[in-house]
């Protein structure tokens, strides 16, 4: 088994600077791996698993190609991150920027939230995810975009949006409309949301990188 360490995933910038990237990642191919001496690219045509040994982030894909310390490309990928489990046909990770892009559709699953979107942007360092044209069955909603804070689950749905909770359906057709969603734990242990069409200033500032 060929083991190669690459850039850290979902680590804070400080941590990324403190530790050598090669020491944090483990690549486990499911089959053969091809190394291109001219470009420095390594391809796992049978897929494999990339594990961040420090954060525990695990990326599994049916096809992977990466350049050490620069980027990772994956197809039919599933990644477990702080925000939940992301599934996408195509995923590109910019290793130095600690940024991932899913442009061919994406699904996020986490407790109390399942979102499907046309595209997604993940900023690993601050732990933020932006979904474009998201739709969700739990809770039932759709919007122009959904901004998600990975560690808290706080989210903001950007308009035009519609959000349904029980017998209530909130919708706003204005492009500058926003709906803040904050998860709360119900007495039965299930996760519900508090919705408000005025966003907390702190949250809005925290989401600034993906707005």
Partner 1 sequence: MTRPSSAWTAPTPSRRRSAAHAAAVHAAAWMTLLLLAIPTTSAFAQGDAESPADFAPFGAAPYDLAPQALALATPIGAPCAAVGGEVRLAGVGNARFDRIELDGDSGDARLWGGVCIDATIVGAVLRAEEVRIFDLEGDPRLQVEDAVLDLGAWRLAVRRLNGSVTALTLTEVHLLAPGLIGSAEAGSISADGAELSGAVLATDAWLFQAERITVAAEVITLHAPVAVPCRCDRPRYHLSGSEARVRFEGGDATLLRPALHAASLRLPLGDRFDLVGGELDTAVPLRIRADRNLGTVVEWHARDARGPRLTLGTVSEPSRGPLLDLQIEGDGANVRLQHDPRGPVLTASQRHELHPRLAVTGFSEANLRGARALLRSGAHLSASTPRASLPLGGTDGLVLSAQLRATLGAELAAEPVSDGGLGPAGPRFPASLTAELRLPLAAAGRLALDAELEGAFTPGTLPPIPAEAGAWRGSYTLRPSYQVSVPVAGSELRFSAAYLRHAPLGVGPFAFDAVSERSRLSGEATLAGKPFGVTEATASLRAEWRLAPEPPGPQRLGASASVTVPLGSGFRLQASLASELAGLIGGPDGADWWQAGLNLQGGADLQADARVRFGVTDGVLRDADLAARVPIDLPVNANDPNALQGVRLAPYLAADFAPWLRGEGPPTLSAHGLRVRIVDCCGTVTLGYLRDGDGTAFEVGVSLPDLWRDGRPPEGPVDPGDLPEDWPDRYGDEP
Candidates 32, 84, 34, 51; CA nearest to 191 is 84
Give the Cα separation of 52 and 59 in Å (integer).
9
CB of 79 to partner 1, least distance (A): 28
Lookup result for tokens 């360490």: 5
CB of 167 to partner 1, least distance (A): 4
3-class secondary structure for 21-35? HHHCEEEEECCCCEE
**Residue 160, helix vs strand vs coil:** coil
Work out whether 201 is an interface residue with partner 1 (CB under 8 A).
no
**For partner 1, the closer CB: 5 or 114:** 114
CB of 159 to partner 1, least distance (A): 9
Burial class (CB in 10 A: 0-12, 13-18, 19+), 57: buried
* Piece of the chain touching partner 1 by CB under 8 A; list 8-16, 66-74, 140-148, 191-199: 191-199
3-state helix, strand, coil in the chain (%, to 5): 10, 55, 40
**For partner 1, the closer CB: 75 or 182:** 182
Q: Considering only residues 160 through 189, tell me which ones interact with partner 1, judged by CB under 8 A.
A: 165-172, 174, 177, 184-186
**Residue 167, helix vs strand vs coil:** coil
Mask for 128-157, x = binds partner 1 (CB under 8 A)? -----------x------------------
**For partner 1, the closer CB: 1 or 176:** 176
The residue ranges that bind partner 1 (CB under 8 A) are 139, 165-172, 174, 177, 184-186, 192-198
């Amino acid at each position: 088994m060929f083991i190669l360490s690459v850039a850290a995933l979902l680590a804070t910038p400080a941590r990324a600077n403190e530790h050598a990237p090669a020491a944090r990642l483990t690549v486990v191919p499911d089959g053969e791996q091809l190394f291109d001496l001219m470009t420095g690219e390594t391809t796992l045509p049978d897929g494999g698993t990339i594990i961040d040994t420090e954060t525990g982030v695990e990326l599994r894909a049916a096809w992977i190609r990466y350049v050490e310390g620069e980027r990772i490309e994956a197809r039919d990928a599933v990644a477990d991150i702080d925000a939940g489990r992301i599934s996408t046909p195509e995923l590109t990770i910019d290793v130095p920027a600690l940024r991932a892009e899913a442009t061919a559709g994406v699904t996020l699953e986490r407790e109390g939230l399942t979102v499907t979107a046309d595209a997604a942007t993940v900023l690993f360092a601050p732990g933020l995810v932006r979904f474009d044209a998201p739709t969700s069955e739990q809770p039932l909603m759709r919007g122009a975009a959904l901004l998600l804070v990975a560690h808290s689950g706080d989210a903001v749905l950007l308009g035009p949006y519609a959000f349904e909770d029980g017998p209530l359906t909130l919708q706003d057709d204005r492009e500058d409309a926003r709906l803040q969603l904050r998860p709360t734990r119900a007495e039965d242990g299930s996760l519900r949301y508090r919705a408000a069409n005025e966003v907390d200033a702190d949250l809005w500032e925290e989401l600034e990188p993906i707005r």
